[in-house]
Amino acid sequence: MINVALPKGRLGEKVYAMFERAGYECPSIKENNRKLIFENADKGIRYFWVKPSDVSIYVERGAADIGVCGKDILLEYSPDVYELLDLNLGKCRMAVAAKRDFYDDNQKTLKVATKFVNIARGFYASKCRDIDIIKLNGSIEIAPILGLSDVIVDIVETGTTLKENNLEVVETIVPISARLVANKASFKFKTEEIEKIVESIREQVENND
């Protein structure tokens, strides 16, 4: 039995569709209910919906053999997992954004508001820039508007939210997309099953390119 952690939401639904096309369907997942675990014993697969930022935890701790999560989560938490495929889904970028009239005064400590503390810290450390990190859990965009921070480090998809808040991207840190990850120990004991799934999904990704 392969346990798959899927991120709740639109991305997870797209990923499930890929698994379904790969021959790992589980019809009960489409029923309209509040269940979180779905199993197709004949196909040897069990899916569960989890919060997108928790997928890597389920996989690293072995509760899931494989899972799909954003590169942002992998960069932020550095879980010890295999990153087997870039699914080319959920494409966006991790970027630095600021108010349109922002001027980066190198003489002052840069105040950075973000949910992604480690990514922001690593990015500015590589530039030897002194920063003051302000960890926020949501509505990051309002931090520069209210003077809480000079810039924000956040995920930018279309840029609409930034635009509506009079912000713009100053610099792209890294492109983000969904990745198929696997628990390292599970991979040793379920090699063939996991390889079969990965190969079938890889074909779909390559055909979509």
Partner 1 sequence: MIDEKIFKNEERAIFALRSLYRQYGYLPFKMSKFEEYDLYVQNKDFLVSDRVITFNDTSGRLLALKPDVTLSIIKNTTDETGCKQKVCYNENVYRVSGSTHQFKEIMQTGLECIGDIDILDIFEVVALGAQSLSLISDTFALDLSHMGIVSAILDEASSDELFKKEAIALIANKNIHELRALCQGYQISEESTSAIITLVTTYGETTQVLNALCGICKSERAREAYAQLSALCTYLEATSYKNQIKLDFSVVNDMNYYNGIVFKGFLNGIPESVLSGGEYGMLLQKMGRKSNAIGFAIYLDLLEGLEGERCDYDVDTLILYDDATQDIALTKKRELIEQKRSVSAQRSIPSKLRYRELLDLREGESK
Q: Which residues bind partner 1 (CB under 8 A)?
A: 57, 60-62, 79-86, 183-186, 188-189, 191
- Judged by beta carbon, residue 149 or residue 186, the one nearer partner 1 is 186
Measured from the CB of residue 59, what is the shortest distance to partner 1 in angstroms?
9
What's the one-letter identity of residue 112?
A: V
DSSP state of 53: G
- Judged by beta carbon, residue 40 or residue 177, the one nearer partner 1 is 177
CB-CB contact of 90 with 70 (8 Å): yes
For residue 202, report the phi and psi dihedrals to the nearest 5 degrees. Answer: -60, -40
Measured from the CB of residue 115, what is the shortest distance to partner 1 in angstroms?
17
Measured from the CB of residue 126, what is the shortest distance to partner 1 in angstroms?
10
Rounded Cα distance, 62 and 15, in Å: 20
- Judged by beta carbon, residue 71 or residue 115, the one nearer partner 1 is 71
Measured from the CB of residue 181, what is the shortest distance to partner 1 in angstroms?
9
- Judged by beta carbon, residue 84 or residue 97, the one nearer partner 1 is 84
Mode of pairing for the β-strands spanning 167-176 and 131-135: unpaired
Measured from the CB of residue 148, what is the shortest distance to partner 1 in angstroms?
26
For residue 180, report the phi and psi dihedrals to the nearest 5 degrees. Answer: -90, 120
Phi-psi region of 64 (alpha: psi -120 to 50; beta: other; left: phi over 0): beta
- Judged by beta carbon, residue 93 or residue 143, the one nearer partner 1 is 93
